[in-house]
Structure 1
């Protein structure tokens, strides 16, 4: 059995802790054989446990404590601690591992609920499970979510060679913002979502760059955001925004603008990977 979970990008600017998209980079988990103890074969670095302390197995055992140990193989092209849902993909993978090996017969809705409770918010786990574009809320312990087709475009990820932990990125956010400002922030998010549903990426991208919830507070941690945004506006991309808590920046582009955008990004004096992706429409897959 093989399980494939897509990378994700959360927030999309003003859709803070609510909006997310699934992307065409993946965490792959393969069940190899029975074992006396859990073992994960991987080449992801010494920081990632190879035994039952791994988040994948810890998640699975929370749902199905009596699972018999297996040897698993884990491969991933989702970079760690860069704002592309690496930890969320592992949680989603652990839930699916328990679901399949423990015959839990979980519905998609139940998987989203469980993953959100574990992660704390739905904006990464929901698109990882459902695929495509998902808007979700987590209020009073209940998750409500809607999946919709995201308009066709290329997604360029500018991934700096530095880690930025979500906890660090969250620490710079204010405890509250003035009511009037919150109303403005909410209206920007509403227009962005409506534009996506209407297939209007130029308007959606414009709203993504007007976020009032988090990007202004995080700019000092990601000084390259403004540089990339200026480049994207000059070239004619739809919009650029922080992916999750950063430091990755996503740029949505028409296909004909992608090569030019990549060439300009390569000139920036920052050590970074530049990946051209598409929207993953399927979410988690089991083969």
Structure 2
């Protein structure tokens, strides 16, 4: 039974999907976190507080993605309480609608909070949560790294979600170039063609195969491994500034891709490789140096006596 006064907190990382040729099946978690807390109340209704990214745009009603997912998660976990009062507090660092997994972060946050309320004290069943998140998102490329952490290859087969974690080379770092504009994911998908040339498909298979090797053991191959043929060229008209930045970075030898559906640009490589980007013009982009991160952490229920939790970073000023 879920009663009043229960409190659960979760921390979920930003993610970057595709990494160039790993379209809809590969993603990484990045060291930028959203922190969400929910408290159950005796009074019915909903209170929402948001700081940081999305503070002035996200809804404050039941359509809020974390709340809607939390409610559905409780039903799926056998605790349908449609009238339970909730107080939600979010501190968001992940830019909204910019290709860094903000929707996946909200969905994973809601499901983890539902788990914490329905299964207090139990460790997260990450495979189960990944199945639930994929049913909502439609594909697991962002949800897998958000839940499991690190770099993940994830796919749907016969209605089941499968995943393989990659042991990323420890020298690889990440740099995100975040523009001050949005590109809706639905629009970015709408411009993709239904058919692609056979030669492009062959190049894509080669690059995606090479990408796994480059990420795990051969970072020097990342420039070739991050070349894409089936989604970035078609999305380029939606984000010309991002496309131009990728051109400048890659000409300087820096592996760079559109992060997810864009328009954020993600550069990845060793510190030496990323140093080639230091002199590249990036006006209009917020530049963030990031590292590979762990997966979602349910804090309150899993905290043990004498075990300190790391402090949460304060939210930076949101992008305009």
TM-score under structure 1 length normalisation = 0.90
Unmatched 5+ stretches in structure 1: none
1:89 counterpart residue number = 105
Provide closer, same or farther for how the CA distance between residues 39 and 262 of structure 1 changes in structure 2, counting only shifts above 3 A. Answer: farther
1:76-155 residue pairs with structure 2 within 5 A? Answer: 76-103=92-119, 107-151=125-169, 152-155=171-174
Instruction: Compute the displacement of 1:116 (Å).
Output: 0.7
How many pairs align?
280
**Residue range with higher mean Cα deviation, 17-26 or 29-38:** 29-38
* CA displacement, residues 165-220 of structure 1 (integer Å, 9 cap, x when unaligned): 011111110012244432332222112113223x21221332212x1221111111
1:7 counterpart residue number = 14
Q: Distance in 2 between matches of 1:13 and 1:139?
A: 22
Q: Distance in 2 between matches of 1:259 and 1:179?
A: 36
2:37 to 30, 41, 54: 30
1:158 to 162, 170, 177: 177
Provide closer, same or farther for how the CA distance between residues 235 and 183 of structure 1 changes in structure 2, counting only shifts above 3 A. Answer: closer
Instruction: Compute the displacement of 1:162 (Å).
Output: 0.8
Q: Distance in 1 between matches of 2:167 and 2:14?
A: 17
Does residue 49 of structure 2 align to residue 41 of structure 1? yes
Assess if the C-alpha contact under 8 Å between 1:41 and 1:72 holds in 2: yes
Does residue 240 of structure 2 align to residue 223 of structure 1? yes
Provide closer, same or farther for how the CA distance between residues 139 and 74 of structure 1 changes in structure 2, counting only shifts above 3 A. Answer: same
1:212 counterpart residue number = 229
Secondary structure of 1:96's counterpart equals helix
Which one has a bigger Cα radius of gyration? Answer: 2
Q: Distance in 2 between matches of 1:80 and 1:70?
A: 23
* CA displacement, residues 65-122 of structure 1 (integer Å, 9 cap, x when unaligned): 4343221210111111100000100000111011110118662111111111100111
Provide closer, same or farther for how the CA distance between residues 32 and 194 of structure 1 changes in structure 2, counting only shifts above 3 A. Answer: same
Unmatched 5+ stretches in structure 2: 1-7, 300-320
Indicate the RMSD between aligned Cα atoms, in angstroms: 2.1
Q: Which runs of 4+ in 1 moved over 4 A?
A: 256-260
Provide closer, same or farther for how the CA distance between residues 61 and 116 of structure 1 changes in structure 2, counting only shifts above 3 A. Answer: same
Instruction: Compute the displacement of 1:257 (Å).
Output: 5.4
2:206 counterpart residue number = 187
Q: Distance in 2 between matches of 1:54 and 1:207?
A: 38
Assess if the C-alpha contact under 8 Å between 1:39 and 1:52 holds in 2: no
Q: Distance in 1 between matches of 2:38 and 2:93?
A: 18
